[in-house]
Structure formats: C-alpha cells, structure tokens
Amino acid sequence: MDKSGWSKIPLIAFATVLLWLKTYIVYKTSFDIKIENWKQELILFINPLSFLMLIFGISLFMKKKNQTRLILISSFIISAVLYANVVFYRFFNDFLTVPVLFQTSNMSDLGSSVNELVNLVDLFYFADFIALAAIIKFMPQHIGYRQYSKVNRRTYFLIALALAFFNLGLVETERPQLLTRTFDREMLVKNIGTYNYHIYDIFLQSKSSAQRALADGSELADIDNYIRANHQQPNPDLFGIAKNKNVILISLESTQSFVINETVNGQEITPFLNDFIKESYYFNNFYHQTGQGKTSDSEFVVENSLYPLSRGAVFFTHSGNEYNATPDILNKIGYFTASLHANNKSFWNRDIMYKSLGYERFYSMPDYKISEENSIGWGMKDIDFFDQSVQHLKEMPEPFYAKFITLTNHFPFELGEEDSLIEPYTSDNKTVNNYFPTVRYTDEAIKLFIEKLKDEGLYEDSIIIIYGDHYGISENHNKAMGEFLGTEVTPFVSTQLQRVPLIIHIPGQQGKVIPTVSGQIDLKPTILHLLGVDTKEDFEFGADLLADDRLEFTVLRDGSFITKDYLYTRDTCYEKATGEPADVSACDPYMEKAKTELEYSDKIIYGDLLRFYEQDELQEINEE
C-alpha cells in the first residue's frame, strides 16, 4: 500500500464531516427548532454523526471504485432527503413521513405552490455533494484510499455506536421516553436527528401495517365503553329541528378565525360573513384538528368524528377501511349525498375515499367548464365554482347533503387585479400580504352563492354550514403575523391561531355567538342531531355543539388541547385569560383524556376496527 495515503484525507472522513456540518447548518437556518439550553444544542449538533458514520461505514468493506461510488450515491440521497424536508417545512412547518411520500400523485397538481417554495439558492443543500464529486474528479491526489483490516472496521463501528448511545443518553436526560411519549416530530428531529427520525418513521409505518393484520373485534370493547361514557345527549329543543332539510356544507380553504370581523388597510376582510354570522350560530372558539392531510384531514374529521393520523393522510393510507361516515348514514334515511370540488378527482385520493365514506356522487373537474379565464393558482376560481355548482344542486334529488370545497384561498394566495377587492397587507412577508385579498375574494364568492340559492328557492329549505378547513398562515410567518396582530406569536398565540370559523345557519333560527370550546370532530353529531338522527350507537369522539352542559374540551392532532380556562401545548400549560404559563397541574386532569382519545382513534383507523362493528356482537363482548 502507498504509505503516502496515510497523509491524505480519507474519503469517508471527508464525506462524513461535510454532510454532518451541512446538516447542522440546515437545522439552524432552515428549520425553526427551539433550543432551550446548551445540552439541547449539543444534542442537535451531534445527532446526525452516528447515522452518517454507519451509512458511509459500509464502504469500508469495499474496494476503491465501489467505495467511491457508494459514498457519492449515499451523499446525494441523504442530501435529497434533507432538502425534501426543507421544502416541505417551508409551507407545512412539519417534517416528512413515509405516508406523505406515497402521496406523490398530488405533486402534479401543486403547480405554483411548489414553484413558490423552490429557488435557485437551494443548490446549497447539495453543496457538499458537488464539492465531493469535484474533488474526486479533479483533485483525486488529495483523497486517500486504503484497505481496512477487521480491527480497523470493528473500531470504527464501535465508535459510531458509542456516539449513538451517547446521543440517546443525553436525550433521555432531556426528554425521557421520547419515542413513546411524543406526538411532536420537531421534538424527534431535535433529539435523534432527521435521518434517524426517518428510520423511526419507517418502523412506525411497518408497525401500523401490521396492526390491521393482527387486529380483532375485541379491541373495540374498551373504546366502545369510553365513547358511551362520554356520549353527549342532544339539546331536546333543537334535536330534529332541521329534519328533512337539505344540508349545504362549505369548506373554506385555509381560512382562520382571525380574519372574521377584522379589517386590513381600513377595509373589512370578510364583510359578508360578518353579516351572515348575525343571523346564524357562530362558534368563535372552534379549532381545526388536521394533521399532515390538511384539507383531506378536515374532511375526514368532519365526516367521521374520528381524529386524523399524526403521520400522512388517512385518505391515502386507509382509504379501504370501513367507516360509519355522515354521507353513509344519511344515504340510509333517503338523502342524496354529493361532494363538489372543481379539481382532479384523484387529488388526495378522493375518488377512492369518497366511496368508503358513502358519497353517491363526486362532482369534479369534468363536471365544470374550466378555462384560463376562470382559473388561477390551484384551479377554478371560487365565484365561478359556486356559480356553476348551483345547477348541479338544482338537479339533485331532495333532500340532499352537498359538500363544497373551495380553492382560491390556497397558498401561495394568487389573485388577479380584476378580482382583488381589497389591497394586500403591507409587511415584508409576501405570503401574509396576499392572504387577505384571497380571503376577501372567497367571502364575495360565498355572498354571491347565497344570493343565488335564494333566487333558485333552495335557501329556505337548507341548513348551511360554513367552516375553515385548516390554517392558511403557518408558523414560518410568525413575525409578519405578530405585526398584524400587534402581539408576539408565542406558542400560546400560535395555538389560538388554529381557530377557524364555524357558522351554522338554520332557517327560522335567530343568530347567536356560542363561545364553547369545540373542534371539527364535533360537527358530525351536531349535523345528525339537527336532522333528527340519533348518534347514541355511533363510534365518534365529538359531542353535539348545541348540547346543554357539554364539556369544553378540544384536542389538536399534535397532542395540544384546549379547555374553558386552560390551553396546553409544547409541554406548557397556559391560562387562557392571560396567555401566561400556569402550574402544569391545572392541565393534568385533561392530559390522560387527550392521550386516550388520540390513541383510541388511531387504533380504530390502523386496525380498521369498524369492519368488526356489529352492535349485537359488541354487546356480547361487553357482557363477557
């Protein structure tokens, strides 16, 4: 062997150090990872190292040519994984999961959203790979190669494993039982690193796949007992008040409650909704409960009164499950059920999932006349969408249950000058600035739609439910949001920003603001009770929003929860009245309930447990 090789930099060391340092720089510049002390900073710094050493260490068993090839390919793939997380994080403020990676069929429809998130300087995320390839190609004399003995290899891997255990030891002192107690992906990345997090995620995906195969009906007994014990009786004065009425359900894309009764540049953001609220039930403490599935998650929660999954979208991962969704229930009592959305029918796997939910008809792109003139951003403008949809409503047999999904108020919030009814906000943040005109446009679309329902004689025979599907402004824009709100966006404020509008209009009923803490999971029993459908035997975690003495308690998908007096998020209990941290014991009574509901709902979905559900059989299980 050429002894001069000892004085050169080993390729494996060069590749490891470059990628390790790049990963740490990306942690600090591209992710908003909260660091509270020096130990957390040390954990963040060292957590990529053991993984990189183990991956690149495979090359120690190879000859020079294959060693070079493996290190280059590994460097590129790992960089690509890191970059994919960066792009995903820029909008969703979250990290990728295996189920999300299977949602690639959505990518062809993302269009301008992806273009907005990707830019030329992103080549930096592959800088180490480019430097490595250039040195191997043009300056090979600076790179050393050698054959490693068994002792050398054993020592190398022992060091890598020692670093991994040192990392885990530090983590245990900072966050005991991390892998079993957290719903927070940021916490996982901060402590075990992006790459180890993905390995853990693959393990979770394998585990969830096995759950269905191993599940049996006996698991439903405890869940059934919990749901029965927490069942909320409907308000007797309102139960069945809308019997045989049409149901028009409108999902407002990316609309948060902070725009309601608010102005920008001296102009109302939602003038029509502000007026419509006065003749409707308005819930001003209503929260979205979505996870990575965003709009599809909100559909899932609303239709099933089950929580979405913490990883991926149920619409993709469990579209073949048995459900007891609102459309299926209403089909059985003579309703015609339809969803209307002027988008590709396969987006979010809707064409498959809607069959499992019981929808009789899905009005998608082929059912609309879509052109360049009536489209922007993600597709058909909301005004044209509602205008053409009225004809579909007129052709439906009554009573009908029709869900509308709007589109214009979607990131990156594009709107032509001819459709802008208010001026953008003026900050240094383009996303926040453009959000308000698109919200205003959708408000106008709803106004014109309601007017047309009145003209066509559909208004008085319908209950109209309007709700926000998920947040529009992520935590990546907290600085500009703080400027608009006039306050710092703390974790408490950020959780409060997860409130979305809920308006329920019932013909003949007076308007009323209802401040009860609630969430999307409560919509199913509320709608069914208004229609006179008993939900006592249903598997659902929500409670009628109009019930007397309902428990004010709502769980978000990340494990945060809100009660009448307290808000719990990111391991901190806050007093709602002040927004200041409170003694955690004040939130203790609700922690187990929050955890139980999320775990029970996950069991139902992962195990496809509702396929076993027959009331008589379940009764026998409970008696045993």
pLDDT per residue over 343-369, tens digit each? 888 788 898 899 999 999 999 999 999
CATH of residue 428's domain is: 3.40.720.10
DSSP code per residue over 326-338: HHHHHHTTT-EEE
pTM, 2 dp: 0.78
Residue 407 exposure: Cα atoms within 13 Å on the Cβ side: 25
Both tokens of 59, joined, read: 């090359």
Do 168 and 267 have their domain in common? no
Q: Is there a contact between 347 and 103 (Cβ–Cβ < 8 Å)?
A: no
Q: What is the pLDDT of residues 461-494, one digit of tens each?
A: 999 999 999 999 998 899 999 999 999 999 999 9
Do 200 and 274 have their domain in common? no
Do 122 and 257 have their domain in common? no
Do 206 and 247 have their domain in common? no
Q: Cis link prior to 581 (omega < 30° from 0)?
A: no
End-of-domain residue from the set 195, 211, 227: 211
Q: What sections of 58-126 are H helices per DSSP? A: 64-92, 98-101, 107-110, 112-117
Both tokens of 239, joined, read: 């139960």
Do 150 and 67 have their domain in common? yes
Do 133 and 53 have their domain in common? yes
Do 261 and 397 have their domain in common? yes
Confirm whether 583 is domain-assigned.
Answer: no
Do 264 and 198 have their domain in common? no
The helix-helix angle for 430-455 and 478-485 (nearest 10°) equals 70
pLDDT computed for residue 22 by the predictor:
94
Q: What is the pLDDT of residues 52-79, one digit of tens each?
A: 999 999 988 888 888 889 999 999 999 9
Write out the catalytic residue numbers.
Answer: 295
Both tokens of 437, joined, read: 């005109």
pLDDT computed for residue 88 by the predictor:
82
The helix-helix angle for 588-606 and 220-229 (nearest 10°) equals 130
Do 289 and 357 have their domain in common? yes
What does the alpha-carbon distance between residue 335 and residue 528 come to, in Å, rounded to a whole number?
A: 12
| Torsion (CA) 259, 265, 270, 276 in degrees, nearest 10 | 110
Confirm whether 617 is domain-assigned.
Answer: no
Do 29 and 78 have their domain in common? yes
Distance, C-alpha 586 to centroid of its chain: 28
Do 50 and 153 have their domain in common? yes
Confirm whether 305 is domain-assigned.
Answer: yes
Both tokens of 618, joined, read: 């379940």
What does the alpha-carbon distance between residue 572 and residue 351 come to, in Å, rounded to a whole number?
A: 41
Question: Which residues are registered as beta bridge partners of 268?
Answer: 263
pLDDT computed for residue 214 by the predictor:
82
Confirm whether 601 is domain-assigned.
Answer: no
As a whole number of Å, the end-to-end CA separation of the chain is 75
Give 565's contacts (C-beta < 8 A, 6+ positions apart): 575, 576, 577, 586
**Count of structural domains within the chain:** 2
Do 198 and 263 have their domain in common? no
Q: Cis link prior to 412 (omega < 30° from 0)?
A: yes
Residue stretches of the chain with pLDDT short of 70: 1-7, 91-92, 98-117, 142, 144, 177, 179-184, 208, 614-624
Parallel, antiparallel, or unpaired for β 400-405 and 263-264?
Answer: unpaired
Task: Tell me which residue range forms the domain holding 126.
Answer: 3-211
Both tokens of 460, joined, read: 């008085």
Q: What sections of 542-611 are H helices per DSSP? A: 588-606
